[in-house]
Structure 1
Amino acid sequence: MSITINSHVDFNQIKGVIFDLDGTLANSNPNFEGLRAELGIKPGTDILSYVNSITEPTQAEQTHAIIKHYELESSHGATWIAGAQQLMAFLTSLHIPQAILTRNMPEAAHITLANLNLTVGTDFDPLLTRFDAKAKPHPEGVKRICEQWQIKPANILFIGDYLFDLQTAHNAGTKSILYTPSVIPDYADQADIVCQCYLALIDYLRAQLQT
């Protein structure tokens, strides 16, 4: 099935949508396996937590440089994920505000957005990176967006492709959608909705508006 409902979300009550960027809107995820291997850390290790734990200045500087290289490399080749552009257009047609909250660095995020021809303030607003708010799964970014929009977290839908996105939604008190086009991960049950196809999601949400 393209859509799996773990917990009902009343789309009529959704007043704003927050997207993750890499792997959610754009094919731009860095090669995390290669990055962890180059850093000499175990698979699955939170890279940002690892780098923040480094106290030796030279090692910290070298690690930041490696991470920056991987993030910039992946952003330069960013392309739209199938159906994501249509989903954003659908939300725009309903006058639902959209934002992007990413763990990426600002420079890489802006390169990715340029490749997608998306503009902050026109297509969505705001864009928050890990330099603007505490990195996901901390809820600070969501809370800041809710304050800007003057919308309660319960009326926000958070869409992402990884565990941190679901944890962020839970920590902030928003609804969540996990986008996972192929393999369903073992943490998928933490999402309100599991989506393998954005076009199917649009049909599902549109049907709710007609009932």
Structure 2
Amino acid sequence: MIDFSDIDGVIFDLDGTLVESDLNFHNIREKLGCPKEVDILTFVEDIQDDTQKEAAAAFIVEQELADAHGARWLTKGKALVEDSQAQGVPMAIVTRNSRSATAIKIETNQIPITTVITREDAPAKPDPTALLKIAANWGLHPSRCLYVGDFDYDRIAAERAGMQFLLV
């Protein structure tokens, strides 16, 4: 599935790439009053009132945790991880999810990836910081890394990091 001739490390998105997700972003936006054209995490970050900001952030985590318990491997995602394992390349996950929801999804599905960066660890995608941090930790030039994702933010982050990208 992946041509590893010019890839020395693989980074995966989580939701929609490795595991299924039933997060209802329309309902989350509606509850928060977030316009469709505005990124949800940016919207929450920009809330001026600390009490409202904390409530909005807690609501998002609550939705993520509810979704996390039902998340199961996606067939293609599992195959890509197994393919990467067989090649012996390092693997990581970069997700916009909360750390707590991510941990549940990884543990429940026994995903064999221990290097994980969530939105609490680095700026959220499409910011490339997390991808570049992983490449640096691996001692790899970003162009030798592949980012696998399912959304435009994933593609944009990979492009900004100078990484190869695979849309699933």
Deviation, 1:29, is 4.7
Report the CA distance shift for 1:105/1:172 in structure 2 as closer, same or farther (over 3 A).
same
Match of 1:149 among 114, 131, 138: 138
List per-residue Cα deviations over 1:54-85 (Å, max 9, x = no partner). 11112112111211111111111110112221
Q: Distance in 2 between matches of 1:29 and 1:110?
A: 17
Report 1:176-187 matches (<5 A): 176-179=165-168
Match of 1:136 among 125, 130, 146: 125
Q: 1:22: which partner in 2?
A: 15
Report 1:49-198 matches (<5 A): 49-118=42-111, 123-179=112-168
Instruction: Please report the RMSD computed on the Cα atoms of aligned residues, expressed in angstroms.
Output: 1.6
Q: 1:35: which partner in 2?
A: 28
SS at match of 2:75: coil
Moved more, 76-85 or 103-112: 76-85
In the alignment of these two chains, the number of paired residues is: 168
Give the unaligned 5+ runs of structure 1.
4-8, 180-211
* Aligned sequence identity (%): 38
TM-score (norm 1): 0.76
List per-residue Cα deviations over 1:41-62 (Å, max 9, x = no partner). 2224200000000111121121
- Is residue 18–residue 99 contact of structure 1 (8 Å, CA) maintained in 2? yes
Q: Distance in 1 between matches of 2:37 and 2:30?
A: 11
Larger Cα-atom Rg:
1
Q: Which amino acid in the other structure matches residue 135 of structure 1?
A: A
List per-residue Cα deviations over 1:102-131 (Å, max 9, x = no partner). 01110000011112112xxxx224100011
